[in-house]
Amino acid sequence: MLQVCPNGARTRAECAHLPVRPEELAAAARGAVAAGARDVHLHPKRADGADTLDPAVVAAAVSAVRAAVPGIPVGVTTGAWATPDAAARAAQVRAWTVLPDHASVNWHEDGAEEVATALLDRGIGIEAGIYSGTDAARRFLAWPESHRVLRVLAEITETAPRDAARAADDLLAELEPAAAITPVLLHGENGSAWPVLRLAVSLDLDIRIGLEDILHLPDGRPAASNAELIRAVG
C-alpha cells in the first residue's frame, strides 16, 4: 500500500506550496491518487498553519479530501503538539462530527492509550505510530488492545541513511510480535525518507511519501508537489 502524507506538521516557512486549507489538501490528494497513492494521511490545520484536532477543522479537511478522492481512506494525526493534554485530545476525538477512516497515535506520547481508546470507541482505525529511539514499541506491545489497530507505523527518526538503516532493523525486530498479525508501514523522514522507502519496498512492507516526510526528489531536486513525490516511487 502506498500512502501519501501531504503536509505533516510542516509550515509554509519550510515549503511555500505546502497544502494547508481544505481545498488545497483536496487538490493535493487528487493529484497524489492519480499518481498512484491509495491512502491519505493528513494534518488538519488552522488558518495560521498550525495543526489542530478541532472538530470543525477536522470535518472540513476530511470532507474536502473525501469528495476529491472518493473511495480512498483518509486519516488524520492526533499528535500531542496539536493539543498537549491527553484528556483534551481524547475529548476532541469524541467530539469529531466527521470521522476519518483512521488516525495516527504516537505511542511515545503520554496518554496514547486514552486517545486510542477514544478512536476505537468511535470506530476509527488506528495507525500506531512507533518512533525509533523511544520506548514506544514496548509501550504499544504492552497495550491489551494492540491487536485491534489498523496498522503499525514504524517511524524512523534518524535522518542519516546509515543510522536510519540500523534503526529500522532494530525497530522492526522489536515490532515482530505485532507484525505477525498487523500490517506495518515503514517510513523515514528528510535525509532518510528515500533510503527507508527503498528498504520498505525490499521487505514488502507498506510505504508512504509526501511533503510531510521529504521536500526533495531522489535526485535532490525540490519536489513541486505531492504527486511528483508519488510518481518518483516508480
Amino acid at 103: A
Return averaged pLDDT per consecutive 10 residues of the chain, 234 residues in all: 98 96 98 98 96 98 98 98 97 98 98 98 98 97 97 96 95 96 97 97 98 97 98 94
What confidence score (pLDDT) does residue 234 get? 84
Q: What is the pLDDT of residues 178-213, one digit of tens each?
A: 999 999 999 999 999 999 999 999 999 999 999 999
CA-wise closest residue to 45 among 67, 19, 72: 19
What confidence score (pLDDT) does residue 104 get? 98
In DSSP terms, 131 is beta-bridged to 155
Amino acid at 35: A
The Cα–Cα gap between 32 and 9 comes to: 19
Q: What is the pLDDT of residues 128-153, one digit of tens each?
A: 999 999 999 999 999 999 999 999 99
pTM here is 0.96
In DSSP terms, 185 is beta-bridged to 153, 206
